């Protein structure tokens, strides 16, 4: 314990110390962040203004957009500021906040996607009971449960990780990430965080199993439909959600199950950017490009006033 020091701030080493790469990082992250802001805010506005989209599925989609906005707003602005000002410093309490909110939003994301899988299961396998099973009260309760589960997971991780003594303050990442903070611990008490990670892994596995079960039931039901048109309609409502789930779980699993033999100084950061930034960028695109209702609402939002203006002219 003689190596333990009082940590007042951490150093986020980022992608490079070269000024040109720091400016490039700022520009790339700015473009990504603006894309995430515009895409997800547009989804929220479309659902809020269009009565045809005010259904349980789009109610969950609003919360998914809020999660995407939150998770990226926690990490991107600070990384951009550090790159622009040529610094690596992040205060101890800013790091605590990053860990808490990032885990909170990322966990809530997975729980919400599990709820959305159940919504699709009820809509396709029990369409006659959809209204009674997916009442607004039930939707609010399920969404609230997803947020509360994410909050509990975030509190558990944050409390555990920052009870550890640290021997160094240099984080080899562009944001405060739990695995890299564990590497800075200089006592065997880091095993407490391992148990917390195991708990989170079990929760993630349960969510994954529930999603798989839901889609097994969905595909079984769809394949029994006699009409090809009904099959295509059912698949079209499932493909966006299934794509989003695959994108999130695929990037997370690829990052954390990657063999250490192929991991390197910069690859860890690239993979972290992959699972933290790619899903929030792609989710609005996936739901807008594959959904006729969203595209119709988008068209109406931008072009419904065009005939009026021509008439007035």
Residue 309 has pLDDT above 70, yes or no: no
Q: What percent of the chain has pLDDT over 90?
A: 35
Residue 5 has pLDDT above 60, yes or no: no
pLDDT of residue 164: 81
Residue 188 has pLDDT above 70, yes or no: no
Query: Average pLDDT, stretch 26-52?
Result: 90
pLDDT of residue 166: 83
* Domains along the sequence of the chain with CATH: 9-312 (1.20.1070.10)
pLDDT of residue 268: 76
Query: Average pLDDT, stretch 47-53?
Result: 81
pLDDT of residue 163: 85
Better-predicted residue by pLDDT, 82 or 226:
82
Beta carbons within 10 angstroms of residue 182's beta carbon:
17
pLDDT of residue 313: 43
The confidence band for 47, taking pLDDT boundaries of 50, 70 and 90, is confident
Better-predicted residue by pLDDT, 44 or 265:
44
Residue 28 has pLDDT above 50, yes or no: yes
The confidence band for 312, taking pLDDT boundaries of 50, 70 and 90, is very low
The confidence band for 258, taking pLDDT boundaries of 50, 70 and 90, is low
pLDDT of residue 1: 45
- Note the pLDDT tens digit of each residue in 194-234: 777 788 888 889 999 999 999 999 989 888 888 787 788 77
Residue 37 has pLDDT above 80, yes or no: yes
């Amino acid at each position: 314990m003689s190596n333990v020091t009082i940590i007042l701030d951490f150093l986020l080493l980022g992608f490079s110390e070269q000024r040109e790469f720091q400016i490039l990082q700022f520009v790339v992250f700015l473009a990504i962040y603006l894309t995430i802001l515009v895409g997800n805010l547009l989804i929220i506005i479309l659902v809020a203004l269009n009565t045809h989209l005010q259904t349980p599925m789009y109610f969950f989609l609003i919360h998914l957009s809020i999660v995407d906005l939150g998770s990226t707003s926690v990490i991107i602005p600070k990384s951009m500021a550090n790159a622009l000002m040529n610094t690596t410093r992040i205060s101890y309490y800013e790091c605590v906040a990053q860990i808490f909110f990032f885990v909170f939003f990322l966990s809530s994301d997975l729980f919400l996607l599990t709820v959305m899988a159940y919504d699709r299961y009820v809509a396709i396998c029990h369409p006659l009971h959809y209204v009674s099973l997916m009442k607004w009260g039930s939707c609010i309760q399920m969404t609230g449960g997803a947020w509360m589960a994410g909050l509990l997971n975030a509190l558990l991780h944050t409390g555990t990780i920052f009870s550890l003594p640290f021997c160094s303050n240099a984080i080899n990442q562009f944001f405060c990430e739990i695995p890299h903070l564990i590497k800075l611990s200089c006592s065997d008490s880091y095993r407490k965080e391992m148990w917390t990670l195991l708990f989170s892994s079990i929760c993630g596995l349960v969510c994954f199993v529930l999603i798989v079960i839901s889609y097994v039931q969905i595909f079984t039901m769809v394949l029994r439909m006699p009409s090809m048109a009904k099959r295509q309609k059912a698949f079209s409502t499932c493909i966006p959600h299934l794509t989003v789930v695959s994108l999130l779980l695929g990037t997370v699993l690829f990052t954390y199950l990657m063999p250490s033999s192929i991991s390197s100084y910069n690859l860890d950061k690239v993979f972290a950017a992959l699972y933290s930034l790619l899903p929030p960028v792609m989710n609005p695109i996936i739901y807008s490009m594959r959904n006729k209702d969203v595209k119709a609402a988008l068209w109406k939002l931008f072009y419904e006033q065009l005939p009026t203006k021509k008439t007035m002219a």
